[in-house]
Structure 1
Amino acid sequence: MLRAFTLLLICQLAGEVTAVLTGLPIPGPVVGLFYLLIGLMVYRTPTPWLETTSSGLLKHLSLLFVPASVGLIQHADRLQVEWLPLLAAVIISTVAAIAVGALTFVAVARLTGHPAQGEDHKP
Protein backbone atom coordinates (compact mmCIF):
# COMPACT_ATOMS: atom_id res chain seq x y z
CA MET A 1 0.00 0.00 0.00
CA LEU A 2 2.85 2.37 0.81
CA ARG A 3 4.41 1.79 -2.63
CA ALA A 4 1.12 2.59 -4.35
CA PHE A 5 0.56 5.80 -2.40
CA THR A 6 4.17 6.79 -3.06
CA LEU A 7 3.66 6.23 -6.78
CA LEU A 8 0.43 8.24 -6.77
CA LEU A 9 2.06 11.10 -4.86
CA ILE A 10 5.10 11.09 -7.17
CA CYS A 11 2.79 11.34 -10.18
CA GLN A 12 0.91 14.19 -8.50
CA LEU A 13 4.16 15.98 -7.66
CA ALA A 14 5.42 15.57 -11.23
CA GLY A 15 2.11 16.94 -12.47
CA GLU A 16 2.29 19.93 -10.13
CA VAL A 17 5.86 20.70 -11.20
CA THR A 18 4.91 20.41 -14.86
CA ALA A 19 1.85 22.63 -14.46
CA VAL A 20 3.82 25.31 -12.59
CA LEU A 21 6.86 25.31 -14.88
CA THR A 22 4.88 25.30 -18.12
CA GLY A 23 2.08 27.56 -16.96
CA LEU A 24 -0.54 25.09 -18.18
CA PRO A 25 -4.11 26.01 -17.24
CA ILE A 26 -4.60 22.39 -16.11
CA PRO A 27 -4.40 21.42 -12.42
CA GLY A 28 -1.26 19.55 -11.44
CA PRO A 29 -3.09 16.46 -10.16
CA VAL A 30 -4.77 16.08 -13.56
CA VAL A 31 -1.38 16.21 -15.28
CA GLY A 32 -0.14 13.69 -12.71
CA LEU A 33 -3.01 11.34 -13.57
CA PHE A 34 -2.01 11.67 -17.20
CA TYR A 35 1.53 10.60 -16.25
CA LEU A 36 0.08 7.64 -14.35
CA LEU A 37 -2.01 6.73 -17.40
CA ILE A 38 1.08 6.80 -19.61
CA GLY A 39 2.91 4.57 -17.14
CA LEU A 40 0.04 2.10 -17.06
CA MET A 41 -0.10 2.06 -20.86
CA VAL A 42 3.63 1.34 -21.04
CA TYR A 43 3.48 -1.53 -18.55
CA ARG A 44 0.12 -2.79 -19.95
CA THR A 45 -1.17 -4.19 -16.63
CA PRO A 46 -1.16 -2.67 -13.16
CA THR A 47 0.81 -4.42 -10.47
CA PRO A 48 -1.24 -6.20 -7.79
CA TRP A 49 -0.19 -3.71 -5.11
CA LEU A 50 -1.33 -0.76 -7.24
CA GLU A 51 -4.58 -2.50 -8.13
CA THR A 52 -5.37 -3.29 -4.48
CA THR A 53 -4.73 0.26 -3.33
CA SER A 54 -6.67 1.76 -6.23
CA SER A 55 -9.66 -0.47 -5.46
CA GLY A 56 -9.55 0.66 -1.84
CA LEU A 57 -9.49 4.31 -2.87
CA LEU A 58 -12.41 3.81 -5.24
CA LYS A 59 -14.48 2.20 -2.48
CA HIS A 60 -14.15 5.40 -0.45
CA LEU A 61 -14.39 7.85 -3.34
CA SER A 62 -17.47 9.48 -1.85
CA LEU A 63 -15.29 10.92 0.94
CA LEU A 64 -13.62 13.13 -1.65
CA PHE A 65 -16.89 15.02 -2.08
CA VAL A 66 -16.73 16.30 1.50
CA PRO A 67 -14.24 19.12 0.70
CA ALA A 68 -16.31 20.15 -2.31
CA SER A 69 -19.42 20.30 -0.15
CA VAL A 70 -17.62 22.43 2.42
CA GLY A 71 -16.53 24.75 -0.38
CA LEU A 72 -20.14 25.11 -1.53
CA ILE A 73 -21.22 26.00 2.00
CA GLN A 74 -18.44 28.57 2.33
CA HIS A 75 -19.46 30.23 -0.94
CA ALA A 76 -23.23 30.11 -0.37
CA ASP A 77 -23.53 33.88 -0.74
CA ARG A 78 -21.80 33.76 -4.12
CA LEU A 79 -24.03 30.86 -5.21
CA GLN A 80 -27.12 32.94 -4.43
CA VAL A 81 -25.91 35.63 -6.81
CA GLU A 82 -24.51 33.43 -9.59
CA TRP A 83 -26.85 30.42 -9.48
CA LEU A 84 -28.25 30.87 -13.00
CA PRO A 85 -24.91 30.82 -14.89
CA LEU A 86 -23.75 27.90 -12.73
CA LEU A 87 -26.93 25.94 -13.40
CA ALA A 88 -26.64 26.63 -17.13
CA ALA A 89 -23.00 25.49 -17.12
CA VAL A 90 -23.86 22.27 -15.30
CA ILE A 91 -26.75 21.45 -17.66
CA ILE A 92 -24.85 22.30 -20.85
CA SER A 93 -21.72 20.41 -19.80
CA THR A 94 -23.77 17.37 -18.76
CA VAL A 95 -25.61 17.26 -22.09
CA ALA A 96 -22.35 17.75 -23.97
CA ALA A 97 -20.62 14.96 -22.01
CA ILE A 98 -23.49 12.54 -22.67
CA ALA A 99 -23.52 13.43 -26.38
CA VAL A 100 -19.76 13.03 -26.75
CA GLY A 101 -19.88 9.74 -24.84
CA ALA A 102 -22.66 8.41 -27.07
CA LEU A 103 -20.91 9.50 -30.26
CA THR A 104 -17.66 7.94 -29.08
CA PHE A 105 -19.44 4.69 -28.24
CA VAL A 106 -21.03 4.52 -31.70
CA ALA A 107 -17.73 5.35 -33.42
CA VAL A 108 -15.82 2.69 -31.47
CA ALA A 109 -18.59 0.15 -32.08
CA ARG A 110 -18.37 0.78 -35.83
CA LEU A 111 -14.57 0.65 -35.84
CA THR A 112 -14.50 -2.66 -33.98
CA GLY A 113 -17.29 -4.19 -36.02
CA HIS A 114 -19.68 -4.55 -33.09
CA PRO A 115 -23.09 -3.08 -33.80
CA ALA A 116 -24.42 -0.50 -31.43
CA GLN A 117 -27.73 -1.42 -29.83
CA GLY A 118 -30.56 -0.84 -32.27
CA GLU A 119 -28.39 -1.31 -35.36
CA ASP A 120 -28.64 -4.38 -37.54
CA HIS A 121 -25.49 -6.44 -37.74
CA LYS A 122 -24.56 -7.21 -41.33
CA PRO A 123 -21.92 -9.93 -41.67
Structure 2
Amino acid sequence: MITGLTWLLAFQVVGEVIVRVLDVTVPGPVAGMLLLFVFLRVRRYGDDGSIVRAGSALLRHLQLFFVPAGVGIVAYLGVLGDHALPIVVALLGSWLAGLAVVGWTAVGLERLLGKPRDDLGRAGEG
Protein backbone atom coordinates (compact mmCIF):
# COMPACT_ATOMS: atom_id res chain seq x y z
CA MET A 1 0.00 0.00 0.00
CA ILE A 2 2.78 2.45 0.89
CA THR A 3 4.60 1.59 -2.33
CA GLY A 4 1.49 2.34 -4.38
CA LEU A 5 0.88 5.64 -2.62
CA THR A 6 4.52 6.56 -3.15
CA TRP A 7 4.17 5.89 -6.88
CA LEU A 8 0.96 7.95 -7.06
CA LEU A 9 2.57 10.89 -5.26
CA ALA A 10 5.71 10.58 -7.36
CA PHE A 11 3.69 10.88 -10.57
CA GLN A 12 1.88 13.91 -9.14
CA VAL A 13 5.20 15.56 -8.26
CA VAL A 14 6.69 14.75 -11.68
CA GLY A 15 3.61 16.23 -13.32
CA GLU A 16 3.92 19.37 -11.20
CA VAL A 17 7.61 19.74 -12.07
CA ILE A 18 6.95 19.29 -15.79
CA VAL A 19 4.16 21.87 -15.72
CA ARG A 20 6.30 24.41 -13.90
CA VAL A 21 9.37 23.85 -16.10
CA LEU A 22 7.40 24.02 -19.35
CA ASP A 23 5.14 26.82 -18.04
CA VAL A 24 1.94 25.28 -19.39
CA THR A 25 -1.56 26.06 -18.12
CA VAL A 26 -2.45 22.48 -17.19
CA PRO A 27 -2.61 21.59 -13.49
CA GLY A 28 0.35 19.51 -12.34
CA PRO A 29 -1.76 16.65 -10.95
CA VAL A 30 -3.54 16.34 -14.31
CA ALA A 31 -0.21 16.06 -16.12
CA GLY A 32 0.92 13.50 -13.54
CA MET A 33 -2.28 11.52 -14.04
CA LEU A 34 -1.67 11.49 -17.79
CA LEU A 35 1.88 10.25 -17.22
CA LEU A 36 0.56 7.58 -14.85
CA PHE A 37 -1.96 6.48 -17.47
CA VAL A 38 0.78 6.17 -20.09
CA PHE A 39 2.98 4.29 -17.62
CA LEU A 40 0.23 1.83 -16.75
CA ARG A 41 -0.58 1.26 -20.43
CA VAL A 42 3.02 0.79 -21.53
CA ARG A 43 3.89 -1.59 -18.70
CA ARG A 44 0.58 -3.47 -18.98
CA TYR A 45 0.19 -3.17 -15.24
CA GLY A 46 -2.07 -5.82 -13.69
CA ASP A 47 -4.99 -5.38 -11.33
CA ASP A 48 -2.98 -6.83 -8.47
CA GLY A 49 -0.21 -4.20 -8.60
CA SER A 50 0.53 -1.83 -5.73
CA ILE A 51 -0.53 1.27 -7.70
CA VAL A 52 -3.93 -0.22 -8.52
CA ARG A 53 -4.45 -1.39 -4.94
CA ALA A 54 -3.58 2.06 -3.56
CA GLY A 55 -5.87 3.76 -6.08
CA SER A 56 -8.72 1.40 -5.22
CA ALA A 57 -8.24 2.08 -1.52
CA LEU A 58 -8.41 5.82 -2.18
CA LEU A 59 -11.55 5.39 -4.27
CA ARG A 60 -13.25 3.48 -1.46
CA HIS A 61 -12.89 6.60 0.68
CA LEU A 62 -13.60 9.15 -2.04
CA GLN A 63 -16.32 10.84 0.03
CA LEU A 64 -13.65 12.14 2.41
CA PHE A 65 -12.25 14.33 -0.37
CA PHE A 66 -15.49 16.35 -0.30
CA VAL A 67 -14.98 17.40 3.34
CA PRO A 68 -12.61 20.31 2.52
CA ALA A 69 -15.06 21.61 -0.09
CA GLY A 70 -17.89 21.46 2.44
CA VAL A 71 -15.78 23.26 5.03
CA GLY A 72 -14.98 25.95 2.45
CA ILE A 73 -18.65 26.45 1.69
CA VAL A 74 -19.50 26.80 5.37
CA ALA A 75 -16.54 29.14 5.98
CA TYR A 76 -17.52 31.43 3.08
CA LEU A 77 -21.29 31.17 3.53
CA GLY A 78 -21.58 34.94 4.08
CA VAL A 79 -19.71 35.73 0.88
CA LEU A 80 -21.77 33.18 -1.05
CA GLY A 81 -24.95 34.73 0.32
CA ASP A 82 -23.85 38.24 -0.68
CA HIS A 83 -23.09 37.15 -4.24
CA ALA A 84 -25.78 34.49 -4.67
CA LEU A 85 -27.28 35.86 -7.90
CA PRO A 86 -24.02 36.04 -9.90
CA ILE A 87 -23.00 32.61 -8.60
CA VAL A 88 -26.33 31.03 -9.59
CA VAL A 89 -26.25 32.72 -13.01
CA ALA A 90 -22.67 31.52 -13.58
CA LEU A 91 -23.51 27.96 -12.50
CA LEU A 92 -26.61 27.75 -14.69
CA GLY A 93 -24.88 29.44 -17.62
CA SER A 94 -21.87 27.13 -17.50
CA TRP A 95 -24.14 24.11 -17.12
CA LEU A 96 -26.21 25.12 -20.14
CA ALA A 97 -23.09 25.91 -22.19
CA GLY A 98 -21.59 22.52 -21.32
CA LEU A 99 -24.85 20.76 -22.16
CA ALA A 100 -25.03 22.53 -25.52
CA VAL A 101 -21.40 21.75 -26.38
CA VAL A 102 -21.83 18.07 -25.52
CA GLY A 103 -25.04 17.90 -27.58
CA TRP A 104 -23.46 19.63 -30.58
CA THR A 105 -20.40 17.42 -30.32
CA ALA A 106 -22.52 14.25 -30.21
CA VAL A 107 -24.59 15.33 -33.22
CA GLY A 108 -21.45 16.38 -35.11
CA LEU A 109 -19.75 13.05 -34.42
CA GLU A 110 -22.85 11.15 -35.50
CA ARG A 111 -22.88 13.05 -38.79
CA LEU A 112 -19.14 12.67 -39.23
CA LEU A 113 -19.12 8.95 -38.53
CA GLY A 114 -22.39 8.27 -40.34
CA LYS A 115 -23.85 6.29 -37.46
CA PRO A 116 -27.32 7.61 -36.62
CA ARG A 117 -28.74 6.95 -33.20
CA ASP A 118 -31.29 4.21 -32.88
CA ASP A 119 -32.84 5.04 -29.51
CA LEU A 120 -36.22 6.35 -30.65
CA GLY A 121 -38.30 3.71 -28.95
CA ARG A 122 -37.71 0.89 -31.41
CA ALA A 123 -36.27 -1.40 -28.75
CA GLY A 124 -39.47 -3.45 -28.58
CA GLU A 125 -39.57 -4.14 -32.33
CA GLY A 126 -38.16 -7.25 -33.84
Report the CA distance shift for 1:18/1:69 in structure 2 as closer, same or farther (over 3 A): same
2:58 paired residue number: 57
Rg larger in 1 or in 2?
2
Secondary structure of the 1:48 match is coil
1:118 paired residue number: 120
Using the TM superposition, give the Cα deviation of residue 5 of structure 1 relative to its aligned residue in structure 2, in angstroms: 0.5
Using the TM superposition, give the Cα deviation of residue 103 of structure 1 relative to its aligned residue in structure 2, in angstroms: 6.0
Which moved further from structure 2: 64-73 or 45-54?
45-54
With normalisation by structure 1, the TM-score equals 0.70
2:9 paired residue number: 9
Q: Which has the higher contact order (CA 8 A, sep 6+)?
A: 2
Amino acid at match of 2:16: E
With normalisation by structure 2, the TM-score equals 0.69
CA root-mean-square deviation: 3.1
- Structure-1 separation of matches of 2:41 and 2:117: 27
- Paired residues, what number? 119
Alignment of 1:90 onto 2:91: yes
- Structure-2 separation of matches of 1:39 and 1:4: 13
Amino acid at match of 1:48: D
2:48 paired residue number: 48
Using the TM superposition, give the Cα deviation of residue 81 of structure 1 relative to its aligned residue in structure 2, in angstroms: 2.8
- Structure-2 separation of matches of 1:114 and 1:52: 40
Amino acid at match of 2:71: V
- Structure-1 separation of matches of 2:104 and 2:32: 28
- Structure-2 separation of matches of 1:103 and 1:51: 36
